[in-house]
Amino acid sequence: MRDISVFLKDLSNILGSKILQTRIFRPEKICIQVQAGAHRDAIKFILEQDENAGISAITGIDLGEKIELMYHIRTYGTIITIGTEVPKKNAKIESITDLIPGANFHEREASDLLGVFFEGHPNPKRLILPEDWPGNIFPLRKDAPITNIPSKMEGSGHVEQVSYDGRLINIVMGPQHPALIEPERFSLKVEGEIVRQVEPRIGYVHRGIEKATESRTYLQNIYLVERVCGICNAAHAVCFCQAIEAIMGVNIPSRAKYLRTIILELNRIHSHMLLLGHAFLEVGYETLFHYMWRDREPIMDIMENLTGNRVITSFITIGGVRRDLREEYIPIIKAELAKLKDKIDFYRQIFENDSTIKVRTKGIGVLSKHDALKLCVVGPVARGSGVRIDVRRDEPYAAYNEIEFNVITYDDGDSWARFMVRLDEIVESINIIQYALDHLPSGPYRVRVPRIVPAGEAISRVEAPRGELFYYVKSNGTAYPERVKIRTPTFSNIPSFIHIAEGCNIADVPAIFSSLDPCFSCTDR
C-alpha cells in the first residue's frame, strides 16, 4: 500500500494552494478538503496513481450556508475522501462521470435529495423521488418543509405500456412484474427479441431512512438501519455500530467480535441460498428452487436459536452483541453446517453438469473486467468478473483479521460465474463459522457505553452478501446524529445491468437480472 504521506506530498505538489485542509475520519481515513472546482484534478490524480480506483459513494451534508460534497474514492484497499463545498443558493459543481462512469447514479441521487446541479452529467433526471414531487423541496436539507407536501400535482404519471419508437418496441418490465421481487421499473426497448436500450427508474421503495435517522437517538437508529434491508440486516447493524464505536473510540471485546463474525456469515449463507433458489426459479427450474429453500431452513432455525428471530436478528448493539451463545448449542450448529456442506456439493455438481442450466447461464450477460472496474461494481458481481475486492480482506473488521479464508473469484464474467462465486462463498462461510466456533474466546460479550456520542465523523465498511456496504456517520455531540449516509451495494451494481442487458435476448433478461442479486429495499432506502 502506498505510503499516505508520500501520496499527500505528491497531491499537494499538483494542487498547490487549492488544498484547504486535511482531516481524519475515524478510524484512520483521510479527507482532503479542496477548493470548489479542484475536485476533478484531485480525482484525476488518484486515478493516475491507481487505475483500479473507483467511487464508493458521494455524500452531501447541509451545513447551513453551504453544502459539503464528499467524494469517497476506493483505492488501494482503503477509502480516500475528497471534500468540497458549494454555496447553497447556487449549488452547482462539475460532474465526474467522464472520469468515472460509475458515479452516474451517485450524482443523480445527490441532485435529487440535496438540489446540487452537476454540470455535464449525461442524464440528469430524477432518480429517487417520484416525478410529481415539488421541484423546490430537497428532503435532505435541514430546512426542507417535508411535513406538509401539497397533494399530488396533475402529472405525467401515465406510462405507455407499449409504444413504438421507429422499429423499437418499448416493453416495460414494470413495477409489478413476476420476475422482480421488489418494484422497480425498467423500460426495455426491444427490436424483435433483442434488447437495444434499457432505462431504469428506481425509487419505488424510497422510505427516506437517511432523513429519518436524524430524528431518532443512536440506540433507536440501530433498529431503523437494520430494516433498510431484511436479508442483509446484520451487515447494516454491524456497519452502523462500528462507525459509532469508532467515533467513541471504544474497543469491543474479543468474544463480541467473534459472535459478530458468526452472525454475519450466517446472514451471508442464507442470503446466497435465497438468491440461488430465486435464480433457479427464473430459469424455470422449480424443483431446485424448492430444494434450495428447504435446505435453507436449518440456517434460519440456527438464527432463531441464536437471536430470537429468523430474519431480522436485532443481535448487534453499540459495544458488542446483545446475547451470548450458549455452550451446549455449539455442537448442534456444527452438525447442521456439516450437513449443509454436503448438500452444497450436490448443487455444485448440478451447476457443473446440468446441460439446461449451462445453456441458460453460460456466456449470458458477460461483464468484462474493464467494464466492471469502470462502473465501480462491488461484491459477487465484481468477483465474478475477475476483480478481486472484498472488504473482509482489504480492511478486516470484526474477527476477520484472525480467520483464514479465500476470496473467490472467477474470470468468466457471465451469469454462471456469478452464481458459482456465491455457491463457493457459502462453503467459505461455513468454514469461517466452524473456525470461529472452535476458537471462540471467553469473556464479556458487550461493554457498556455512554448514551451520548461525542462529536466526530467516521466511515465504516462491511462486506454485505451483495457487496461493499458503506456508512458515513457524523455526530455533533447531541442525542441525534447530524448525518448518516448509507450506500448499499445494489445501488452501485444496477448501472452494470444497463450495460449487460444491451444486446441480449429478452428471454435472458430475468436470468441476468437475478444473477446480479438485486435488493431494491437496499437501493432505495
Site for another protein in 314-333 (CB under 8 A): 314, 317, 322-323
| Interface with another protein, residue 478, by CB under 8 A | no
| Interface with another protein, residue 98, by CB under 8 A | no
| Sequence-ordered list of residues with C-beta below 8 angstroms from that of 451, at least 6 positions apart, any chain | 217, 218, 219, 479
Stretch that binds another protein, among 114-122, 147-155, 274-282, 492-500 (CB under 8 A): 274-282
Stretch that binds another protein, among 73-81, 110-118, 253-261, 300-308 (CB under 8 A): 300-308
Task: Give the C-alpha separation, 459 to 247, whole Å.
Answer: 9
> Looking at beta carbons only, is 73 or 283 nearer to another protein?
283
> Looking at beta carbons only, is 35 or 187 nearer to another protein?
187
Task: Give the C-alpha separation, 33 to 441, whole Å.
Answer: 42
> Looking at beta carbons only, is 28 or 352 nearer to another protein?
352
Q: Which of 273, 274, 357, 436 binds another protein (CB under 8 A)?
A: 357
| Interface with another protein, residue 366, by CB under 8 A | no
| Interface with another protein, residue 215, by CB under 8 A | no
| Interface with another protein, residue 220, by CB under 8 A | yes
- HEC string of 12-58 equals HHHHHHHEEEEEEEECCEEEEEECCCCHHHHHHHHHHHCCCCEEEEE
| Interface with another protein, residue 288, by CB under 8 A | yes
Q: Which of 148, 178, 327, 328 binds another protein (CB under 8 A)?
A: 178
CB 299 within 8 Å of CB 292: no
What letter represents residue 18's amino acid?
K
Spell out where 301-358 has E strands: 316-317, 320-321
Q: Least distance in Å: CB of 510 to another protein? A: 5
| Sequence-ordered list of residues with C-beta below 8 angstroms from that of 200, at least 6 positions apart, any chain | 184, 185, 186, 187, 494, 497, 498
| Interface with another protein, residue 165, by CB under 8 A | no
Q: Least distance in Å: CB of 525 to another protein? A: 16
> Looking at beta carbons only, is 280 or 397 nearer to another protein?
280
| Interface with another protein, residue 355, by CB under 8 A | yes
Q: Least distance in Å: CB of 178 to another protein? A: 5
Q: Least distance in Å: CB of 345 to another protein? A: 10
Rounded (5°) CA angle 513-516-517: 100
Stretch that binds another protein, among 133-141, 213-221, 373-381, 418-426 (CB under 8 A): 213-221
| Interface with another protein, residue 346, by CB under 8 A | yes
Q: What helix, strand, coil percent values describe the chain, rounded to 5?
A: 45, 20, 35
> Looking at beta carbons only, is 11 or 263 nearer to another protein?
263
Largest alpha-carbon pair distance within the chain? 70
**Cis amide prior to 27 (ω within 30 degrees):** yes
CB 11 within 8 Å of CB 42: yes
Residues written for the chain: 525
| Interface with another protein, residue 308, by CB under 8 A | yes
Q: Which residues of 187-207 are buried (b: 16+ CB within 10 A; e: fewer)?
A: bbbbeeeebbebebbbbbbbe
DSSP assignments along 99-149, one per residue:
T-GGGHHHHHHHHHHH--EEET-S-----SS-TTS-TT--TTSTT---SSP
| Interface with another protein, residue 12, by CB under 8 A | no
Q: Which letter does DSSP use for residue 188 in this model? A: E
CB 521 within 8 Å of CB 229: yes
Site for another protein in 26-45 (CB under 8 A): none
> Looking at beta carbons only, is 190 or 417 nearer to another protein?
190
Q: Least distance in Å: CB of 195 to another protein? A: 12
Beta bridge partners of 94: 119
| Interface with another protein, residue 290, by CB under 8 A | yes
Task: Give the C-alpha separation, 12 to 320, whole Å.
Answer: 40
| Interface with another protein, residue 362, by CB under 8 A | no
| Interface with another protein, residue 147, by CB under 8 A | no
> Looking at beta carbons only, is 105 or 280 nearer to another protein?
280
Q: Which of 204, 223, 435, 480 binds another protein (CB under 8 A)?
A: 223
Q: Which of 8, 20, 47, 171 binds another protein (CB under 8 A)?
A: 171
Residues near another protein (CB under 8 A): 161-162, 169, 171, 177-179, 193, 216-217, 219-224, 227, 280-288, 290-291, 294, 297, 301, 304-305, 307-309, 312, 314, 317, 322-323, 346, 349-350, 352-357, 359-360, 505-510
